[in-house]
Each structure stands twice: as C-alpha cells, then as structure tokens.
Amino acid sequence: MLLTSNMFADQHLEEEYQVSPETGTMPTGRTARASRAVRDVVFVDGVRTPFGKAGDKGIYAGMRADDLVVKCIRDLLRRNPSLPPERIDDVAIAATTQTGDQGLTIGRTAALLAGLPRTVPGFAIDRMCAGAMTAVTTTASGIAFGAYDVVIAGGVEHMGNHPMGADADPNPRFMSERIVDPAALNMGNTAENLHDRFPGITKDRTDAYAVRSQQKLAAAYEDGRIQPDLVPVAGKKTGAGWTLNSVDEPPRPGTTVEDLATLRTPFRAHGRVTAGNAAGLNDGATAALLASADAAAELGLPVRMRLVAYAFAGVEPEVMGIGPVPATEKALRQAGLDISDIGLFEINEAFAVQVLSFLDHFGIDDDDPRVNRYGGAIAVGHPLASSGVRLMNQLARQFEEDPSVRYGMTTMCIGLGMGATVIWENPHHEHYGQDAT
C-alpha cells in the first residue's frame, strides 16, 4: 500500500447523493459526492529503553514489561511538549507473549499507566518479531485513511519474564498433517536450514558479519549516535541497590572472529549458527509517535521520515529468515522503486545468515556501507516485538546525518515464515515529497 497523497490525488471514494425535488429528502442511493484522499504519514519521533539480557542477571530482572513501555510513552510526550496528550488517537503496543505483564490489552493498560487521558484508547498486536513494525503500519494505515491524526505505536518483550515459546500449545495438526516441518517451530533450526539452502553463506562469513555488527555499534556509541533515543530506566538488584540503566547491556565490542570460532552450535551438531552470529535473548521496549503530515504541521511536531510503502509476505516456515526478500520486492513494486533507489538499509539481525541471504539476493556486498551503519541486533539485542521501532529510530537518525539519501528501508524476518518491509523517505533530501518518477 503506497501511502503518498500525490499519487492518490485523483482517487476518491465517491458516493453521490441528490436531494429529491419532490420530497426534499436524501435517497439511499449513491447520488451525491464525498471524497476521502489518502494522507501522508510521517514518523515524528521514536524512543526505546536500553536493551537488556534476559534472565536473573539481566538489568531488567524483577521488572515488569508494561513499566518499560510506560517509560517510553512518557518520554515521547516529554520530548514533544507541543503535543496535547488528548490529541493522541490510539496506542498500539505489540508483544509476542501476551500474558502476565505483557497481557491485558497492553496498549490500553500502558496508555492508562502512562497517564494519558482515559479518552485515549489502545490495543495489543502480535506478529512475533515484527510486532512493533506491525503496530506502526497498522496505525499508519488509519492515519492515511483519516481515522487518526496522531498515534503511538511500539512494542515490548521481557524474555526474562516470558521465555520465547513458554506456555505455547501448537496445534498437533502442525505435526500430524505435516503442515510445517518440526524445525520451523525453533528459529535457530530455521537459520541452519538457510545455511543448507545457501551453502555459499559459510560460518566464516556469518562470523565476520557478526564482528562487523559489534564494531559498528561500538563506533556509533562512541560518536553519540545511539544515546539520544534511549530512555534511562532505573532498576534495583538485591544487595546492590538502585542503578540507572542508560546503555544497552548485550554488546560485546571487543569480539573477534577467533572468539566466535570457538562457540558451540546449539541447534545442530557441527552446525553454523552460534550465540555469536545470532541475536540473543533480550528485554526491552520501544515506542514511536506517528502523525499525518497536516497534523504534524498544525501541532509543530518534527518530521523525521515519511512513510512511502510497506509490505508483509509469507514464506516456508522452515526457512523463515528469507522472509524479508519477498516482502521487500513487494514493497518496492508498490512504491515504484528499485533496490538501487534505497540508500540506507536497517535489517534486523535475528541471524547473520538471514541478513546475508537478503544481501546476496539483491547483489549487495556483505560490508556495503548502506547496511546497518550503527550495527544491528547481533550486537544490540532483539527483544522480539519491540525491535521494529529500533530500526526506525536508527534510520531516522541516519537520514538527519545524510541528506543525500532519499529512500531508506527497515526490514525483518518473522517467526513461522514471514517477512516485513517498510520504505521511508528522507525529509532532508532536496527532492522530498516529489513524485519518484
């Protein structure tokens, strides 16, 4: 779905109503005209908590998932004081495991806990890893249609409180009717399957890619490019008192290829996927502020990106990591663009093999400077449903730094065999808002 008003200027939902001269009443037939044009959707701002390691030793051990989301919502309002809270039309928050502190329609409960007016509704979303990305595209569609002016969309995953797949009860038909291979229910196995399908993606390549991810994140931290969008979170550890967590916990900036070569392959004997070339188990939350272009101008809100197109696609669950490829092809067709038009890529690094399969398909080098300039999930972490907005935050900041880039992309694979891609336009580019053709 291409969300650009200039391409939809001539497309209207028309219904014609004519008052009867005999009765003076409006007939039920389609006789008068009303139109609804698709509106431009802009990314105003995005924040996230520092990402932590899941488990008893992680920075968020003992904390609630919904409290992490609340901190993000409150910080969005603090950063954008010209936005009256009552102007927020909806709050969409994603979580993969929707139970306990991630349940009870978390979009609504987080809105209430954050102190938004009770007139502001909210809802929950689950599309596994693409939860926050789906929260953005779903509410963006509402903005484009005219149902909303301003929304908050994001996601949370506390994998320490809710381990991946905990309490899940897959229908036995998945196995008995061979709807999917049993390996499809374990994401690590699907990554090993990708290695099988693409033997040119060796373990050496994935380890080298993982090391570069760590190096790029370390450089971005050193240059102060990550910190501006982080919401500090206070945490208390037994016997250690309170700590203000202001940086991500997972990164290992000194990692070398030699270090990764020694790691075990937990998903397959003599396999290729390790803890070093895959994202870890993490806790964290994100939230983004989206608006119509008109509402942003009215309220004095900044415009950091404009939504151009988005697409979701399904693939074989056994090789779910290939999902970004068809999703990207679909989004590019909708936008009328080619892969060469994309100047920046933010690809979620669930597994290095998954990113490399995407790059190989589109003929992009492993170390192309357009790809994940600040590093990715292998270094910073991947709290499942929250990660989509992290990609957007990083792309928006890169747009500000590099006005020569007109279009950028956020893309990710999704459990059970899906992919998601969103294409964005840089408002700092000289041709911003003009017809791409």
pLDDT at position 36 is 77
pLDDT at 18 over 50: no
pLDDT confidence bin for 14, thresholds 50/70/90 = very low
pLDDT at position 179 is 87
pLDDT confidence bin for 8, thresholds 50/70/90 = very low
pLDDT at 46 over 50: yes
Each residue of 395-430: pLDDT tens digit? 999 999 999 999 999 999 999 999 999 999 999 999
Chain mean pLDDT for the chain = 92
CA nearest neighbour of 87 among 46, 36, 144, 143: 143
- What does the radius of gyration of the chain's CA atoms come to, in whole angstroms? 22
Instruction: Tell me the whole-structure pTM to 2 decimals.
Output: 0.91
Phi, psi of 51 (to 5 degrees): -85, 140
pLDDT confidence bin for 210, thresholds 50/70/90 = very high
pLDDT at position 34 is 58
Give percent of the chain with pLDDT exceeding 70: 91
pLDDT at position 435 is 79
> Any idea which residues carry the catalytic annotation?
129, 382, 413
Instruction: Give how far Cα 179 sits from Cα of 143, 171, 172, 316, 429, Å.
Output: 37, 10, 10, 10, 47
pLDDT at position 269 is 93
pLDDT at 197 over 80: yes
**Taking every pair of C-alpha atoms in the chain, what is the biggest distance, in angstroms?**
88
pLDDT at position 35 is 66
pLDDT at position 4 is 45
Please state the length of the chain.
437
Quick one: CATH architecture of 39-160+179-425? 3-Layer(aba) Sandwich (3.40)
- In the chain, where the domains are located: 39-160+179-425
Each residue of 105-128: pLDDT tens digit? 999 999 999 999 999 999 999 999
pLDDT confidence bin for 237, thresholds 50/70/90 = confident
pLDDT at 309 over 70: yes
Each residue of 336-383: pLDDT tens digit? 999 999 999 999 999 999 999 999 999 999 999 999 999 999 999 999
Phi, psi of 239 (to 5 degrees): 80, -5
With a CB cutoff of 8 Å and minimum separation 6, the contacts of 203 are 195, 272, 277
Strands 407-414 and 90-94: unpaired
Each residue of 131-175: pLDDT tens digit? 999 999 999 999 999 999 999 999 999 999 999 888 888 888 988
CA distance 290 to 304: 10
pLDDT at 7 over 50: no
Instruction: Give how far Cα 77 sits from Cα of 215, 377, 396, Å.
Output: 33, 27, 18
Residue 31 · residue 17 · CB < 8 Å:
yes
Each residue of 166-176: pLDDT tens digit? 888 888 898 88
